[in-house]
Structures are given as structure tokens and as C-alpha cells.
Amino acid sequence: MRKLLIGLVLALCLLPAFGWSADKATGGTLVWGRGGDSVSLDLAQATDGESIKAGIQVLENLVIFGKDSMNVEPQLAESWSVSDDGLTWTFKLRKGVKFHDGYPFNARAVYDSFARVIFKEHPYYGYGQWKYVSMSLGPVKDIKVIDDYTIALVTDKPYAPLLNNLALWLCPILSPRSMADLKEKIGTRPVGTGPFKFVSWTKDDQIVLERNNDYWGEKAKVAKIVLKSIPEPSARLMALQSGTVDIADDLDPDSIALVKKNAKLAVIERPSINVGYLAFNTEKPRLKDPKVRQALTHAIDQGTLIKAIFAGLAIPAKNPFPPSIWSHNDKIVPYEYNPEKAKKLLAEAKFDFGQEIELWAMPVSRAYMPEPVKTAELIQAYFAAVGVKAKIVRHEWAAYLAKTSNGEHDLCMLGWLGGNADPDNFLYGLLSADTAKTPGASNVAIWKNQEFTELCLRGQKTFNKADRTKIYLRAQEIFHADAPWAPLVHTLNVRCYSKKLHDVPLRPNGLNSFQMVSKDK
């Protein structure tokens, strides 16, 4: 067996991994101001950040990312190994762990939690939309219970990203008793093994969690977490300034600047693992020629965009994923802002300047696109400067996602948070020919480059990181030359909070349990 990582014993593993300090007073209520309500607290159904932020306080995985890093560490699994052929992943589970309802944690509970999202014949299958789970765990074809505290996942092909995918939120371990009792309502009252227990949920107002005093590891420092829904960034800022909330997430750049000037407040900034981009629908006749896509990329002034929209809280993008993720191709020379070169390439491509092109703008703000309409208006002006008339189109968010995944757009603005920090999450998930199939394409450029796709598939089967890096460096060269996107920005991850809090974490993906956070009385 080839060992990927040997889980450390509990006493050694937890303290350095999570940074807990024994001298901090415990108790109190942490009030967390966020931009919206959760959709479901069954994280196998969740794709939105607000659901994940709340759910990971209650539910746990086999493995997890570190407090402030994307390094995979033990959680409900103490150790793991993968067979020499790369097809069988074996996990040794923690003993003495109980779910919040008193049900014992064991291999059978892990089996049910995985089987319900993989096997259609499982009695708990179908309580949600498993599209993202299927993409991330799709190669798993069998689950074997070896004994009460050993379980194996068997894949139909070697799949190197699996461990990082398991550290995501998408396959939490739920109490089998609660799944049987609650069925499709499990997302409204989750029962896990985490440091906090679910108490109540008032829709569009707040979710209340309380400390799990029977937690298997170090107990949470605060007695309660209240997650408040405050949609307006200005209202979240006011709540933070007044002390009504202790943390305010997803503030706009101007609000963040005000927080930095307030002596009672603090800010953490981390390099992100996201990308904001403009996708060209490569199946539209006027966008088929790579010269046209290259020209439109040359027409955009990223520097001005970052100053005007992001207030400097972003860096320019040139590749599909940020430099904070391994195998980022630093040798790629970005498409510089050059209107004259853009005009020349458009002329060479015999572009039809007489007809408007549709530029779809997101109707909601995200960390990678905080002001999508203003961003679209700037891009529209840049295109006009090279003779291209762009019409801004907007749709309601659900319709926007559905229509772009059906390839109905010319150009569309979107972004991605690569929650598992693996290049495959961006390259295969967003740009392979396999994910360009409509309806439901996640590759909204509808770009079908066979060499690129074959490289992605080879990368999935390669466990040696140096060899995978070579594959992904080449894939980025192909992406750059063919220009299915104009990569725009990678934003900084920012968390604003009261200085009454201590040990506030911030992973590059922005998703943390708050069990280590303490609050002054």
C-alpha cells in the first residue's frame, strides 16, 4: 500500500492544526453577519457559500483542510492509504465519536453518507441535487465496510484529486438515524458530529447553533453561534461598527477600507483560490476564431478594472486558476491591454462590426465579481473603443445560470471558487470538452479542445505531483493560446471582525469551522 498520509494521534493532531489556546475564556455568543440565508444545511445538496458556512459548523468529513491552509488533515478518519494501482482508498476511522443524537459513529454511518449520493438504489438517495458531488466523487464505484472502523472507497480509475475532494463540504457524515427519520428534510435539521449542534432556523433571519459539549475533540470556545442574514453590505458594516455582529462577511471594498480605519475592528486578508472571468461562447459564429477572442482580451484594461471595481483587493488573472494554487504557469505572458493590437486582430479575423454582440452581466455580487454591472459597463466601453458594439444583458440569477449552462449567451461574466485547491477543479471542471455538453454545461465557453481534455484526464490519473504539474503547465499554454476566456481577476479573501474575537480563521476558500474562536466577556 502506498501511504499518502498517516493520520496523527489526536493529541498531536488537533492543537497545531487548529491553533487552539487553552488560556482563552470560553462562553458567550458569536454573532455572524452574512449576505444571505442558507439554502440547505445538507451539504451534499449545497453549492452556495451561505449554506456551506453554516453547515460545516455542524457536519464533519473524513478529512479536512487546515485552519488557514488547503493542506489535507485528519478529521473523522485518523489515517488513510491508497493501493499501488491507485484504485482503493482505505480509511481508518476515529473511535469513541458520537453524533449529536447519540448515534455511534462507525463505518456503517460513513457507508450510508456516501452511498446516498453515489448509488441510486440507496434508500436515502435523491433528497437533493447531486450534480457537483457526482462530478467530484464520480469515479467511486464501490464502498466496502472492512470492519466497524475501517472503510474503503473503490474507484473505476486512478483519481488523484479524490482526497482533496473529500476535504470539501460535499460529502458530510450524517447520522443514519436522522437520515431515516427526517428523509428529505435532513437539510433543515442536520445531525452530525461537529463542534456545534443545530438548534433552530428562522428563514431569511437567523440560524442558531450551540456548542456540542460531547464533542470528540477540543470543545468549541464560544457557547453559541448566531448566523444573521443581512443582505445589504452597508447594513452589515453598520452592524459590525455598532457591535450588533462580531463578524461581517463579504463587505464591499469601500466598507473594508472603513473597517481598517476602526481601532475596534480587524481585517484578515488571504490570497484567494478564485477567478473571475469573461467567457466567450466558442460555438457562436463570430466568436469561433481565436483571433477574435484574443482581440477582445487585449481590449480590456485589467489594471483600471482592479482599481475602479476592486479598490486594489485583487490581482490580474492570466490563467484559469490563481498563483496560490500549485502548478500555476508563471511563464505565461498575459494579454496586455493594447487597443491597437485588438483592432488589428479583429481586422485579420474579418469581424462583423455592424452587429451587436451580447455581453451578459451577473445579477448578483460575488467575491470574484463584487459589482458585476459596473464591471460589464467598463468592458462594454473597452469594446466600443475597438469598434465592437456590446449590448449588456441581465437575467435573474437562476435563469442566468441555466441559460449560460445551455450556451444561449455570446459572452458571459462568471467566476469560480476552487474549494479543494486542486488545478483539476478549474481545468477539467470548467474547461474540458466533457463539461461543455449542454444542457447543464459548467464549461460555459462551450470550448471543446481535445488535447486539453486529454491532458486533464491524464492529470486525474497521475498521483506524482511533479508529473501532474508538467501536465497542467501544458494545459494552461493551450488555454492561453485558444483564449476561451478573458481571465479578469483573482480577488483577495477578506474577513472583517471585532477585536473582541481571538483566533479568527480564514482559509483561502473562505470556509472555516469557528470552533477555535474565543470572545472576550
**pLDDT for position 46:** 76
Omega before residue 322 within 30° of 0, cis:
no
Low-confidence ranges of the chain (pLDDT < 70): 1-26, 126-135
Phi and psi at 449, nearest 5°, equal: -100, 115
**pLDDT for position 417:** 85
Phi and psi at 185, nearest 5°, equal: -90, 5
For residue 455, give the nearest of 472, 480, 437 by alpha carbon: 472
The span from the CA of 49 to the CA of 185, in Å, is 20
pTM score: 0.81
Number of H helices, E strands in the chain: 16, 21
The span from the CA of 230 to the CA of 124, in Å, is 34
- For 86-115, what is each residue's pLDDT tens digit? 999 999 999 999 999 999 999 999 999 998
**pLDDT for position 487:** 98
**pLDDT for position 130:** 53
**CB-CB contact of 484 with 282 (8 Å):** yes
For residue 143, give the nearest of 121, 128, 126 by alpha carbon: 121
The span from the CA of 302 to the CA of 318, in Å, is 10
Burial degree of 487 (CB within 10 A; 0-12, 13-18, 19+): buried
Q: Report the 10 Å Cβ neighbour count for 201.
A: 19
**CB within 8 Å of 232: residues ≥ 6 apart:** none
